Amino acid sequence: MDEKISNLQRAKVLIEALPYIQKYNGKIVVVKYGGNAMISDESRRAVMGDIVLLSLIGVKVVLVHGGGPEINELLGKIGKQPEFKDGLRVTDEETSEVVQMVLAGKINKSLVALIGTLGGRAIGLSGMDAGMLEARRLSDCLGYVGEIASVNPQAIFDVLDKGYIPVISTVAADSTGHCYNVNADTAASRLAGTLHAESLISMTDTKGILRDPNNPDTLIPVVNVSEVASLIREGVISGGMIPKAECCCEAIRRGVKRVFIIDGRIPHSILIETLTDSGVGTMFHG
Domains and CATH numbers, the chain: 27-285 (3.40.1160.10)
Coil, strand, or helix at residue 29? strand
Q: Is 261 exposed, middle or buried (0-12, 13-18, 19+ CB in 10 A)?
A: buried
Mean pLDDT over residues 183-191, rounded?
94
Cα 14 to Cα 29: distance, rounded to the nearest angstrom: 20
Q: What percent of the chain has pLDDT over 90?
A: 71
Cα 227 to Cα 50: distance, rounded to the nearest angstrom: 31
Q: Look at residue 250 and tell me whether its pLDDT is greater than 60.
A: yes
Q: What is the pLDDT of residues 60-104, one digit of tens each?
A: 999 999 988 899 999 999 999 888 887 778 999 999 999 999 999
Mean pLDDT over residues 246-254, rounded?
94
Cα 4 to Cα 1: distance, rounded to the nearest angstrom: 5
Q: What is the pLDDT of residue 127?
A: 97
Average pLDDT, the chain: 91
pTM of the prediction?
Answer: 0.92
Q: What is the pLDDT of residue 277?
A: 76
pLDDT category of residue 1 using cuts at 50, 70 and 90: very low
Residue 58 φ then ψ, to 5°: 100, 10
**For residue 77, which amino acid is it?**
K
